[in-house]
Amino acid sequence: IVTHVADARSCVLHPASHTHRQLSDEQLMEAGVRPDLIRLSVGIENADDIIADIEQALNA
């Protein structure tokens, strides 16, 4: 499955290893992309479903 930020579905990605993977560690820090940064793009799903999915992932 490909994560795409221009999708109508919600997606979660790790920018340091996905959208910014070509940058060095120094460039990542300069860009404000920390190693622990997670990007959440919320789509058009039911809000309760999104919240439940996030809660389940955080509790795993």
List domains and CATH numbers for the chain: 11-59 (3.90.1150.10)
Q: What is the pLDDT of residue 52?
A: 97
Q: What is the pLDDT of residue 2?
A: 59
Which pTM does this prediction carry? 0.67
Q: Average pLDDT by consecutive 10-residue portion of the chain (60 residues)?
A: 70 90 95 93 93 94
- DSSP β-ladder status, 11-13 and 39-41: antiparallel
Distances in whole angstroms, Cα of residue 12 to Cα of each of 3, 26, 30, 34, 50: 7, 24, 22, 15, 11
DSSP assignment of the chain: ----TTSSS-EEE-GGGTTTTTS-HHHHHHTT--TT--EEE--SS-HHHHHHHHHHHHH-
Residue in the block written with tokens 């920018």: 15
Q: What is the pLDDT of residue 45?
A: 94
